[in-house]
Amino acid sequence: MNTKITFDSSSSEDEEDDEEEQQEEAEEKEDKKHKTEEKDNDDDANCGNETEAKSDAPKIDDPHAEAVDKADDDKGEVENKADEPPAMKECSKTDPPPTCDSKEKVEQKSIDRLIEEELEELGDKTKRRFLKLDSGCNGVVFVQMRKKDGDKSPKDIVHQIVTSAASIRKHMSRFILRILPIEVSCYASKEEISRAIKPLVEQNFPAETQNPQKFAVLYEARANTGVDRMEIIDAVAKSVPAPHKVDLSNPDKTIIVEIARTVCLIGVIEKYKEFSKYNLRQLTSRKA
């Protein structure tokens, strides 16, 4: 009954202190959480207000402002282009552009190739436009022409040459004295000449015409003494129909009969005497 009872106040005080600290920590956490939520809500509200303010803002037509905005946009585009290099620049980095020397080399190669192709074409006789044939007579050169569709005839080409020489008064060749167009070739005999000349007579001296032509026959033989001159001239003259007449002094057309060994060359030309008998030296040296 007389037992003394004592209380340990230190332990109870410690427990109370721990409880208070735990309660304070919980309250601090809740305060921080509330503050974070309020801040997020404020940010969202601000963003919404700014967007609404931009959309609700009145539009002002200011040309200066538009020009500034446009300049800013252009500047932005230029900066974007500068940031992203084009494909051409990338290619130039890997494959540098050819220099002037390389261009000259390419052109040189192309010219050399063209020359080679031309030489190959000249080497192939089937592709040659003009081909030299041996006439068998000194001082006489026969050039065979391969005519294509639409090309000029030897008569037109020679006429253009003598016309040009007469106009410029300048000799165009060192060795050519006279040039004559040849349209038909055959064996040098009376019968073959009469047969071969028919197409030329029909083309240049038609039987039915309102304008009869005056003509003459030019005969010349080289390295051949077995053919009678007058016989060939008479055969050629008789092949021309009646409306046309012979005029040796002032003919409109001249029939050329050139015999070189066993070959007869026949052609028809105009203005034979007016162009100095197609003698290029006389044609270029005569006075106007």
Q: Which of 29-38, 133-142, 225-234, 241-250 is predicted with the least confidence, judged by mean pLDDT?
A: 29-38
93: its two tokens: 């980095």
Q: Which of 68-82, 119-133, 248-262 is predicted with the least confidence, judged by mean pLDDT?
A: 68-82
The pLDDT value recorded for residue 284 is 85
As a whole number of angstroms, the distance between CA 81 and CA 74 comes to 10
Q: Which of 79-88, 194-203, 208-217 is predicted with the least confidence, judged by mean pLDDT?
A: 79-88
As a whole number of angstroms, the distance between CA 259 and CA 146 comes to 22
Is the model more confident about 103 or about 114? 114
What average pLDDT score do residues 44-70 get?
46
Please tell me the pTM assigned to this model.
0.55
Is the model more confident about 4 or about 226? 226
Residue 139 has pLDDT above 90, yes or no: no
Burial class (CB in 10 A: 0-12, 13-18, 19+), 214: middle
Residue 101 has pLDDT above 60, yes or no: no
Residue pair 241/132 in contact (Cβ under 8 Å)? The answer is no
Question: For the chain, what is the HEC assignment?
Answer: CCCCCCCCHHHHHHHHHHHHHHHHHHHHHHHHHHHHHHHHHHHHHHHHHHHHHHHHCCCCCCHHHHHHHHHHHHHHHHHHHHHCCCHHHHHHHHCCCCCHHHHHHHHHHHHHHHHHHHHHHHHCHHHCCEEEECCCCCCCCEEEECCCCCCCCHHHHHHHHHHHHHHHCCCCCCCCCECCCCCEEEECCHHHHHHHCHHHHHHHCCCCCCCCCEEEEEEEEECCCCCCHHHHHHHHHHCCCCCCEECCCCCCEEEEEEEECCEEEEEEEECCCCCHHHEHHHHHHCCC
Residue 151 has pLDDT above 60, yes or no: yes
The pLDDT value recorded for residue 51 is 42
